[in-house]
Chains A and B, each alone.
Chain A
Amino acid sequence: MQIDLSVKNVTKKFEDFIAVDNVAFEVPDGQFFSILGPSGCGKTTLLRMIAGLTEPTEGSIEIRGQSMLGIPPNKRPVNLIFQHLALFPMMNVGENIAFGLKRRGDRKAAIKEKVGTILERVDLIGFGDKKIDQLSGGQKQRVAIARCLVLEPAVLLLDEPLGALDLKLREQMKVELKKLQAKVGTTFVYITHDQSEALVMSDHVAVMNRGVFEQIDTPQVLYNSPETPFVAQFVGDNNAWSGRVRECKDTRAEIETTEGPVFLTTVGEYLQPGAEVDLFLRPEAMLIQPDPSLSDLNRFEVIVKDILFDGANSRLLAHPLDADTELLIALPQTRQFDYIKKNDKIEIGWDQQSGICFSRSQKKS
C-alpha cells in the first residue's frame, strides 16, 4: 500500500507555547483519516503545516514520498478546505472551480470539461453560472470540495468544514462526504472536535490532546479499548469512578471505589494492590434491573435523579445509594423501562469485561 502522507516527528512552537509536540503518523492511499481533539489542541496548526501555510519548527512532512520542506502551498499536491470554505465571492461557481486549473495552465477546453465532470460528481449540474451567495450551505460545501477535488490532489485536507452547518444538514453531509470519498478514492485528512463526525466517517482516527497524539486507531478500537483516560473520556460518553485496587489476579482486579461499591473488572495489566485507579464505564454498559440469573455482573443500587429523554439516545441520570456521583445510564426505548420514575431505586449491573481501568500514574494530563 502506498503511503500518501507521512508526518515525521513534527513539532511547532510559537515562542514559549508548543502547539504540536513531536507528532508522527502515516496515512495510506485512499484512507479517510481524522484527527479528533478539543479546540486549541493544535490540530489546525498541524493541518496548516501539511498544507504549507505554516512551517514546522522541527520534523518533516512527506507527501507520496517527497519531502515538503520549504515547498510553498501553491506547489504542494495537497488542497485544503477551510473552516468557512473561503469560496471566492467575486467569482461564480464555475470560475471558483476553474481557479486552480487556470493557475496550473490547463487548456480552456480541458478546463471546461473538467469543471463539468466535477459538478456532475458533486450533484451540482447546471450550477456553473450561479453566484456564491445564491447557494445554500450544503451546496457551498460541495462547491468547496469540488474546487479542491478537480485538481486531483494526493491528499485533501478538511478543516472542520461541517462546523458552520445546522445539525440536520451536518448529519446529512457526514454521510454524503463519506460516500463521496469512497467514490473518488482521494485520501482525506479531516480534523474535527466532533467525535461523532470522526467516528462515522473515518477509517482511522487520531485523538489529539495538548499537541500530542494520544491514540491512533479505528473508530471501533478507540471506542471499545481506549489507551488513555483522555481518550476514554473524549470519545463517547463515559462514567468515571476513582478507586483503589484491593486485589489483583492475572487480569481480574477487585476495585474499591471511593464512593463505596466494590467492583470486579478485567484489566489490561497486573495492578499492585493499593494502587489508585480510574475506572471508566460506558452508559450503555450498565444494564437496568438485570436478570438475577446472570452471573459475572457487578451489581449495585442507584437512585434515579432525572430522566433525560432524547429519543434513541435517552439516558437516566442517577446516583449510587450513599454517594452523590452522577452516573449516566443508557435507557433503551423499548417501552420495557417505561415504569421508571424520578427518585425510584433501581438495580444496575455491568459485565466485568466492559470496565476500562487505568492506574493513576498512567494518567498523562
Chain B
Amino acid sequence: MEYILETRNLTKVYGRHKAVDSVSLHVRRGDIYGLIGRNGAGKTSVMKMITGLSKPSEGDFSVFGQRGTGSEMYMQRIGALIENTGIYPNMTAYENMKMKSIAMGVRDKKEAANLLKLVGLSDTGRKKVKNFSMGMKQRLGIAMALIGSPDIVILDEPINGLDPQGIAEVRETIERLNRERDMTFIISSHILEELSKISTSYGIINDGVLIREMTREELLAECSERIELKTDDTARACAVLDSMGIENYKVTDASTVNIFERLDGSGDITMALAQAGVKTLGITVRNEGLEDYYLSLTGGAKNV
C-alpha cells in the first residue's frame, strides 16, 4: 500500500538526549491520524522533522511516495501548525494570512477571507492579533495551515486554549475538510478523548518511541470488554475455543488470547482447557477506556 506520508526509522538527537528514536509511522491518504503521547514524548519533534523545520539525525521520510530531494517539491503540499501560532502580533488576522498567501504564490484573492470565515474569524476586521484571545490565535494558526489547500495538514495540539465550543468547531472543521476535500490530517494531542472522536488511525508515542500504530477499529477492539486468557499453549487453546463454538477471539502474543464473546463463560472455558490438558495461567475479564489502554501501554499509571 502506498502511504501519503511515511517515516522510516526517524531519529532526532539533541546533544545526548534522543528525543525521537527510530519512529516509523504510516499515514494513508484521507486519514485523520492521531499522534498520542504525553508532554515531552516526541510528538512535536516528529512533526518538525516531517514539516522540514528540523533535520533528522537518522532515518528519513517520504511524502507522496518520494524520499529525500524527490520529496522537496511536495513540501508545499503540507500545511502545518507547530507549537505556538507563528503570527505577527501588530498585524491583523487578514494581514498575517495575506503574507503567507503571497509567499506561497496563492493567486486567489478571496482565499484568506474564506479561510478566516471557515475558522470563525471573519469579523475581526482591523483588530490586531495581539488583542486576540488564545482561542482566536489558535484558530488563526489553523487557518494559516490551510492556506494553499494543502493535501496534508499537520496540527500540533490544535485544541489548546479552546473552549468546548471552539473544540467542537475545530473538530467539525477537520471532519468536513477531510470529507469534502480529502485532506489528510496528522493531529497530535494529549487529550485522548477528543482524539478518539475524530481520528481514523493512531500512533502512540512514548519517550520518543512509537509503541503502537493501529486503526480506530483495532483500538476499539483493544479497549472493548473481553476475557483475557493467559496460557502456555495458545495453539491448543485456540483449538479448544473452536471446539466450544467460540469464534470471536484474537491471539495477541505468545501466551495471551483475547476472547470477545461469552464474557460470562470464564468458568466453562477454564474447564474445557483443563480437560484438553491446556494449562491456564490466568483468566480475567477486562474493560479498558482509551486512557487506561494508553496508560497500560506506556506504563504511565506507575508514575501517578
Check if A and B associate. no
